[in-house]
Amino acid sequence: MERLTITSKVLYDKDLLDKKKEIDELKSEILEQTIPKILYDDYEEWDKLKIEAIKICQEGVRNFISVEEYPFMRDFGFTPNQQMDGLYMILWKAFNKITKGQSNEWISNYAQIIAETIAHTIYSLIDMGLWENIYDSLGRDGLITFVLKILIKFFDDGSTEETLDSICVIRQFKCSEYDKLVGNEE
């Protein structure tokens, strides 16, 4: 009977319940800030999702540098309309595709960092007086290609060590022959 009383006290102790709730909230917060670990069936699945993510970028950038917005980009770089969601949403959708719909805050922050880096680079070119020349020499199609080449580097696992470190951490594969994880292991 005494054990039952002790067990009941532990189960209904408000301090313990509050601490457990706090621990669960902290665990959840940590998971939101960590790089997602996605298990792919094979390399073909990864390649297929990567190609779909690149198509999202291609379509998104074509719409982003629309016929309506393009003329104003000569003076502003990215226009106020483009800045609202723009590159961030394109990247988030692409990363969400690669992570099989399991995007978290880390993915969101990563997309934001990439989008802001590209925008700040263009703003720096404006400040240096180089942007108008680039804009004039590239034209709309060239500008679309320019932005796309930057974005696609983040999906091209053969480009740079930084890209590998950024993207490959979300790649894990299951080897059906040995039934163990291979790839980026931590």
Name the pairing type of β-strands 180-183 and 38-40. unpaired
Distance between CA 50 and CA 111 in Å, rounded?
15
pLDDT category of residue 144 using cuts at 50, 70 and 90: very high
pLDDT over 90 (residue 20): no
Mean pLDDT (whole number) for 127-133:
94
pLDDT over 90 (residue 163): no
In 3D, which of 142, 131, 170, 173 has the Cα closest to residue 53?
170
pLDDT category of residue 84 using cuts at 50, 70 and 90: confident
